[in-house]
Structure 1
Amino acid sequence: MSTVLQLASTGLLQGLIYSLIGIGLYLVFTVMRVVNFAHGYFVLIGMYGVLTLKPQGFPAFIGAIVLAALGGALVGYLVQRFLLESGLAKGGHSQLVITLSLGIAIQYLFQVLHPEPFETIPNPYPFEAFTSSGVTISAPRMAAGVLSLVLVLLVSFLVYRTRIGSIIRGCSESLNGAIHVGINVRRVYRLTFALGCGLAAIAGGLLLPIQPVSPALGLELTIKAFIVVVIGGAGSLWGTVAAGVLLGLAEALGSLYAPGTFATALVYGLFFLVILVRPQGLVVRAAARIKPRTSLTKVGVG
C-alpha cells in the first residue's frame, strides 16, 4: 500500500508539471489555431537556461527560472512576429512546417552547445525531502508540483477574471468579432504565443532538478503536451490540467505492472484508447468548441 501511495504522490506532482507544460500549448492552440510542434523545445530553453546560469541556493534558482522564462517568452514573441505571423494569412500547413523545423533547429543547437547528455543541477531548495505516512517526496519534486499548481491558478485567473483574459478569449471565440470591436489581433497573438512559451520555459526550469536534460528530451515533452491538450478537450483549460495529472499518475502507477519503456508504451496505448472512446476530450464546453477560422487576410488585417 505504501508503494502505491508513494507512486501516486510522485505521479500527481509530475502530472502538475505536465499540466503547466500543456497549458502553454493549450493557449496557443485555442487562441491562434496554431499547432506548435516546437513546444517541448521551449521547455528545453528553460532547462538549459537554468543549467547555464548554475544557480547556487534557492533565491538564485528562482531568479534563474525568471530569467529563463523571460528568455523563452522573448524567443516565442520573435518566432510569432517574424516566422509564424505571415503563415497565419497563408493557411495550409505552413505553421506546421515552421514549428517542426524550429524544434529540430533548437535540438541541434543544444546538441552543439551542450554535447554532454543528461545534465542536471543539485537540489537548490533549503530542505531535502518531505515525509508523511511512509511517503517520501523530494524537495525539488514537491516544490515543482506546488509551484506548477500556483501558476496554473494564476493563468486561470488571467484568462477568466481579467480584461486581458477577456480579450484573449474574444480572439479565440470570434476572430471577426474581435477585429470589428477594435482589438489588435496581431498583438494578442504575439503576446499569447510568448506567454505559452514562457510557461513552457518555467516548467523546464522547475523540471531540471528532477529530470536530467538532454536535447532529445524536447520531442518527448512535445508529444506529452499534445496528449494532455487532446485528452483534456479543446477549449478546456481545466480539462488540460486534469489530463496532465492523469498522465503523471498513469506513468507512475504503470511502472508497478510493466518495466521500463514497456510501461510508457502501455500508458500511450491507454490514452490512444481514450481518444477512440471519447475523441472530444475529457471536458468540452459548448461555447468553446473549435470552429473554422477566417484568416487575417480575409478580414482585412495584414
Structure 2
Amino acid sequence: MDFTVFAQQIANGLVNGMAYVLIATGLTLVFGVLRIVNFAHGEFYMLGAYITYFIGTLFGLDYLAAAAISAVVVAGLGIAANKLIFWPLRRDHEFTILLSSLGLALLIANGGELLFGADPKYVESPFADEVLEIGTVTLTQQRVLVFAAAVVALVAVYLFIRYSRFGKMMRATAQNPDGAALTGINIGLVHTYTFALACGLAALSGALVGPTVMIFPTIGNWAVLKGFIVVIMGGLGSVTGALFAGLLLGVIESLGGGYISLGFMEAIGYAMIIAVLLWRPNGLFSTARGLR
C-alpha cells in the first residue's frame, strides 16, 4: 500500500467528516432539545452557501465576513421558522411536525430555485486555489479552513452547552421540559435560540463548503442526508456521537472511494447505518434522553 496515497485519503476523509459533523450538530441540537426531526435542515445549509455567494458578489465583501454574516442571517431565519411553524405545533403529534419540516424544506428549495435560479454557482474564496502541503499530504487552504473553523465552532458549542447558563437551560429542557418550566426556565426562549443556533451552524457549514463544490438550490438534499446518517450513527441527541460518527463516515467514504470505486462511495453511508442499527439500534453513543 502506498502510504502517501493512504495519508491523502485519510486527510480528505477527515475534512469531509468535519463538514458532516458541523451539519449534524445542528440536527442533534434540534432533536435533543426540541425533539424535532427537521428535514428542512439541509435547506438552511443551502441558504448559507447562497447568501455567502450573493453578499460577496453584490456587495464585494471579504469572504470570511460574508460567511459570518450569512450564518447570522440564517440564524435569524431559523428564529422566524421556529416561531411560525415549530413552536405552534409543539403539542401536536410528532408526525405532524415531521411533515411540517418536510413542507418547509420543499418551500425553501423551490423558493430558492425561483429566487436564485437553477444554474449552479460557485462561491468565490481567496483560499480555494491556494495549496498547503503538510508532509506528504496536499490540501487547499479552503479545505484546511473548513476543518479548522469546524473545530473552533464545535468546541465553542460544547463549552457553551456545558458551562453557560443558557446551555444549562438547554440541557434541562432536553431532559425534562415540564420540570424545566416549573423551575422558571423560559421554554419558548430555549426552543427559539436552540433552533437559531442549529440553523446558524448549518449555514456556516454551507458557507465553508461552498467554495469547494458547485452550489445549486437542491444541494440541501445532500446535506440533510449526510447529517441524518451521522446523527443516527452517533445517537440522537449526542453531540459527542455526531463528532465521532461524522469523522468515521468521512474517512471510510474517502478510503472506499479511493481504493474501491467513487460510485461505491455514496453507498457506504447506508451500509454503515444498517450495520449500526443492527448492532446498536439507538446509535453508537446513545444514553438516556437529553442533550450530551
Aligned 8 A contact 1:37 1:103 in 2:
yes
Cα displacement (A) at 1:67? 1.3
Report the residue type matching 2:183 in the other structure: V
Aligned 8 A contact 2:257 2:263 in 1:
no
Cα displacement (A) at 1:134? 1.8
Query: TM-score normalised to the size of structure 1?
Result: 0.90
Cα displacement (A) at 1:126? 9.2
Task: Tell me which moved more, 254-263 or 280-289.
Answer: 280-289
**SS of equivalent to 1:54:** helix
Aligned 8 A contact 1:50 1:61 in 2:
yes
Corresponding residue of 2:27: 25
Task: State the number of aligned residues.
Answer: 289
Cα displacement (A) at 1:125? 2.9
Corresponding residue of 1:297: none
Give the 3 Å change call, closer, same or farther, for CA 53–217 of structure 1 in structure 2: same
Cα displacement (A) at 1:263? 2.1
Cα displacement (A) at 1:210? 1.0
Task: Tell me which moved more, 153-162 or 221-230.
Answer: 221-230
Aligned counterparts of 1:231 and 1:270: Cα–Cα separation in 2:
8
Corresponding residue of 2:266: 264
Task: Tell me which moved more, 91-100 or 279-288.
Answer: 279-288
**SS of equivalent to 1:234:** coil
**SS of equivalent to 1:214:** coil
The one of 280, 283, 286 aligned to 1:281: 283
Corresponding residue of 2:180: 178
Please list every run of 5 or more consecutive structure 1 residues that lacks an aligned counterpart in the other structure: 291-302
Give the 3 Å change call, closer, same or farther, for CA 5–235 of structure 1 in structure 2: same
Aligned 8 A contact 1:233 1:283 in 2:
yes
Aligned 8 A contact 1:120 1:212 in 2:
yes
Aligned counterparts of 1:134 and 1:219: Cα–Cα separation in 2:
34
Aligned counterparts of 2:94 and 2:65: Cα–Cα separation in 1:
40
Runs of 4+ in 1 over 6 A off after TM superposition: none
Corresponding residue of 2:16: 14
Report the residue type matching 1:76 in the other structure: G
Cα displacement (A) at 1:234? 2.5
Corresponding residue of 2:234: 232
Cα displacement (A) at 1:55? 5.8
The one of 30, 46, 49 aligned to 2:48: 46
Aligned counterparts of 1:261 and 1:72: Cα–Cα separation in 2:
33
Report the residue type matching 1:223 in the other structure: L
Which deviations, in whole Å up to 9, do the C-alpha atoms of 1:118-149 show, x marking residues without a partner? Answer: 31133323981210222101010001111001
Aligned counterparts of 1:59 and 1:276: Cα–Cα separation in 2:
49
